[in-house]
Amino acid sequence: MDATDLHHYAQHGVNHDKSGRPIKPSPEILPHLTEAENTAYNIIATAGPTPFRRIEQEAIPLTHAATRLLQILEAGAGR
C-alpha cells in the first residue's frame, strides 16, 4: 500500500485493533518496503498525529488488492 492507496481508503481507517484497544505508534523499521510503501507506513504507524493507525483490509476490494499486487510483482521483476 502506498500513500495514494492510503488516502483513497482513508474513510475505512481506524485507531483501534479488532479487540477495541487503541493502536499505539510503532518505532519498528521495515527495511524491505519500497519508498512509496515506507511513506504510507510512516504516515499511519510511526509516532506523531494521524487520523488513523490502520485501514480495515476487508474494506479494500479484492480486485484492487490483486491489481496492486500484480503491479508490485511486475515492478520487482524489472529490477
Tell whether the model's pLDDT for residue 21 goes beyond 90: yes
Whether the per-residue pLDDT at 79 is higher than 70: the answer is: no
Which of 78, 76, 56, 74 has the alpha carbon at shortest distance from 66?
Answer: 74
Tell me the percentage of the chain whose pLDDT exceeds 70.
97
What pLDDT is attached to residue 11?
93
Distances (CA, A) of 14 to 5, 40, 68, 75: 15, 15, 22, 30
